[in-house]
Structures are given as C-alpha cells and as structure tokens.
Chains A and B, each alone.
Chain A
Amino acid sequence: MAQGRLATVSWGESEEDGGAVLTTVDSLVNWARKNSLWPLPMGLSCCAIEFMAAATSRFDMARFGAEVARFSPKQADVMIVAGTMTYKMGEAVRRLYDQMAEPKWVIAMGACASTAGMFRTYPVMQGIDHIVPVDFYVPGCPPRPEMLINTLIQLQKKVASERAHKGLRVANLKAEKATA
C-alpha cells in the first residue's frame, strides 16, 4: 500500500479480530493519487497514435491506473501533450491546463512537445515549457508506448514523494497568512 510509512495495529489475537492501519495523510493521499492518474490526452499529432496504443490492451496503461483518458480538463490529473504544438494550439493548451484542478502534472511526450523537434519553423513553439510547467520530457519521435508507460511510472514515484496539499488553494492561503 502506501509505501514506506505504514504500521498495523491489531485489537485482538489475530487479523480477523479487526485492526487499524496507521500511516500519514501524505502517504495515503499520494497512494490514491498515483494509482489513479487520469490523463488529459492533448493529442496534437502522431505521438497521439502512440498514446492510443499505450492505452490498448497490448500495452495496457490500465495496469498503472492511467487508462481513464478524460476529455474534460476538470476531471484530469495529468496532461499528456503528445505532438507538435503550434502557437495557435498553444492558446488551447494553456487554457485547458488552467482549467485542470490542482494538483496537476504535465508530460511532454515526444521530441516536438519537448523542443519542437525538427520544426524550427514560423508556426511552432519550441517546446511546450514556454507556456506550461512540464514534469517529464519523453524523448522519441514518437516514443514507443513502453516509453510513455515508463514515464507514468516515474510520475507515480514523483507523486508519491510530494506533499499531499501540493498546489491546493488552502495551502497557499496559509502560506500567505504566515508571511503577512
């Protein structure tokens, strides 16, 4: 379960008598979060095809709780930008990112999303990190589904290591009060 910080307490002689599991809020919340990372598939070009492959039964992203692609940003946790982002599409990418609820993460899938790849051209932004904060850059043109799944596993590790109130408004208010 929640790795690392875990202790069990039994009330009676055996486990059947009932008991409790002791852990920290961070561990419990992060355990839930990292096993249900719902992606927002920002499929902009051919990388989106590899993303779809990763979701199929052959590669089975569902093993890591990330198969529930949500087309509403309000229900998504991780935006996977899969493809070449033009300046015009950048407006939509940024708006969708803003509409995602905290906490949220971003994966730049493939060479184009990371650095624009071969497109040093007039309509293409040279990497999505100019307009959204990126947690993981996935190399490849396009990356194979295994690569994306590996990135999801890395993201799970990252989520598990964060504070549970990451990005939450209440935490910010407390911080503001503390500094005032």
Chain B
Amino acid sequence: MSEPLQVIVDPAAAGTPASAPPAAVALLRERHGDGVRALMENRGQFRVLVERGQAAEAIRFLRDDPRLRFTFLVDVTAIDFHPATPRFRVTWVLRSYHTKETLVLQADVPEDDPSVPSMTHLFPGADWLERECFDMFGIRFTGHPDLRRILLPDVFPGHPLRKDYPMAGIMTDQEWAEHIVSRAQREEGHD
C-alpha cells in the first residue's frame, strides 16, 4: 500500500476540529490503490475522488465488503465547475446501515466525453437518479437500460443545471405553446 492520502480540508471548514477518515477509505485504497485520487473533508464528512473507470468497481466493493456494507445509494448527482477543466464531477452518496457511516464518492468527467458507468446493475434505485442527472447535466451513464429525460419534457433543449445554460431557457413561450396545443389536439383527435 502506498502512502496515506493527505486529507484536503474545504476552505470553508478550515479551523473546525479534524476527524479521522472512516475505515472504508483505507480499505478502498488498499483495494484500488491509485484509482483513489484524493480525500476531502468538510466538518467530518468525507469525499473520495476516484477514477471514473474504477467507480463501478469501487462502489461494488463498498457495497459487498462484509466490513462495510454500503448497501444504500442515497443519491447520484453532478457538479458543474464551468469553465474549469475537467468540467463535471459526478457524485455518489452511499450509506451503510452496518457502520452507520455516509461516504461520498466522486469522479471527474471531462466536457467532451461526459460519461460514467451506470450503477443500475449494482443498485436498481440508481435508474431514476441517473436519469435525473442526465436530464439536468447531460451526463451519459453508459449501460443504463433507459437513459431518457425524467423531469423535463422530451423536447426540452439542453441541460439546464449546466452553469452556461440561460436562466430563462432556450425555447420561447410561443414555441412551447405551439408544441403544447398541437400535441393536445393530436392526442385528443381534434381537427
């Protein structure tokens, strides 16, 4: 095993008492070595930055290891650091009812290839979480069985939680009205 990772403390939380990283971090590092890139801490909550290619294996390990048993995928989301590179950071929040710990895994994703492996084969509940993340950020979850929009209408242009998305949207109200009225008439069978 390589040197212990240095814990990066968030500037906003500087000066708060440091706490020890959960045992899961050391075990993960033991297993995945350099795939674990960094360890960040904010007021006792830890985030582990992993290579996106190893995210699925890391999450499978955290779920299946009898000492850890992170069996609950709380959330899947992303952060847009536009205009920095790499632009996106996909975030998985895991909870262990066994150790009563919460662990956040993150993976950097570049703008020109915004894809990460889907976790639907590990957690069926990841299905809709990943669809929401795709809807809002345009992250492609490879291996997802049905990756389409979940909250916004199918014809919605773009991904609105990206930092460069115009606040008021791209389509005008007139365009939306035409879409809504024509669709209602088509489905009702009106002339």
In whole Å, how far is A13's beta carbon from the nearest beta carbon of chain B? 58
| A84-128 interface with B by 8 A CB criterion | 87-88, 90-91, 94-95, 98-99, 120-123, 125-127
When C-beta atoms are compared, the residue in chain A nearest to B165 turns out to be A122
B152 beta carbon closer than 8 Å to chain A:
yes
CB-based contact A98/B177 at 8 Å: no
Q: Is the Cβ of B153 less than 8 Å from the Cβ of A91?
A: yes
Interchain CB contact under 8 A, B169 and A90: no
Q: Is B160 an interface residue (CB 8 A)?
A: yes
Instruction: From the candidates B160, B166, B168, B176, name the one contacting A130 in the complex (CB within 8 A).
Output: B176
User: With A and B bound together, what is the CA distance between A127 and B172 in angstroms?
Assistant: 12
User: Please, which residues of chain A bring their CB within 8 A of the CB of B183?
Assistant: 91
Q: How far is the CB of B181 from chain A (nearest CB, A)?
A: 6
A95 touches B184 (CB 8 A): yes
B187 in contact (CB, < 8 A): yes
Q: Considering the chains assembled together, what is the distance between the CA atoms of A99 and B152 in angstroms?
A: 24
Chain A residues near B16 (CB, 8 Å)?
Answer: none
Q: Is B100 an interface residue (CB 8 A)?
A: no
* A125 and B176 in contact, given A88-B153, A91-B184, A95-B188 (Cβ under 8 angstroms): yes
Q: Is the CB of A87 within 8 A of B180?
A: yes
Interface string of B51-85 (1 = CB under 8 A from A): 00000000000000000000000000000000000
Q: Mark B157-176, 1 if CB is under 8 A from A, else 0.
A: 00010000111111001101
Indicate if A131 sits at the interface (CB-CB under 8 A). Answer: yes
A94 to B187, CA, bound (A): 11
CA distance A51 to B185 in the complex (A): 29
Chain B residue with the shortest CB-CB distance to A96 = B184
Known A-B contacts A125-B173, A131-B180; the reply to A95 vs B187 at CB < 8 A is yes
Q: How far is the CA of A12 from the CA of B151 in the complex (A)?
A: 71
- In the complex, A123 Cα to B161 Cα: how many Å? 11
Q: Is the CB of B181 within 8 A of A131?
A: yes
How far apart are the CA atoms of A125 and B169 in the complex, in Å?
10
Whole-angstrom distance from the CB of B177 to the nearest CB of chain A?
Answer: 4
| Bound form: Cα–Cα A94–B174 in Å | 14
Bound Cα distance A125, B168 (Å): 10
Task: List chain B residues, Cβ under 8 A from A88.
Answer: 151-153
Which chain A residue has the least Cβ–Cβ distance from B157?
A: A122
Chain A residues with CB under 8 Å of B151's CB are 88
B32 CB, nearest partner CB in chain A, Å:
38
Chain A, Cβ-Cβ closest to B177: A130
- CB 8 Å contact bits of A35-49 with B (1 = contact, 0 = none): 000000000000000
Q: Which residues of A contact B177 (CB under 8 A)?
A: 90, 125, 130-131
Give the complex CA separation of A18 and B160 in angstroms.
71
- Chain B residue numbers with a CB within 8 Å of A130 are 173-174, 176-177
Chain B residues with CB under 8 Å of A90's CB are 176-177, 180
In the assembled complex, which residues on chain B have CB atoms less than 8 Å from the CB atom of A121?
167-169
Give A contacts to B, CB under 8 Å.
87-88, 90-91, 94-95, 98-99, 120-123, 125-127, 130-131
The 7 closest A-B pairs by CB, nearest first: A122-B169, A94-B184, A130-B177, A122-B160, A88-B153, A95-B184, A90-B180
Q: List 27 A-B contacts (CB under 8 A).
A: A87-B153, A87-B180, A88-B151, A88-B152, A90-B176, A91-B153, A91-B183, A91-B184, A94-B184, A95-B184, A95-B188, A98-B184, A98-B185, A98-B188, A99-B188, A120-B167, A121-B167, A122-B160, A122-B167, A122-B170, A123-B160, A123-B169, A125-B176, A126-B173, A127-B173, A130-B176, A131-B177
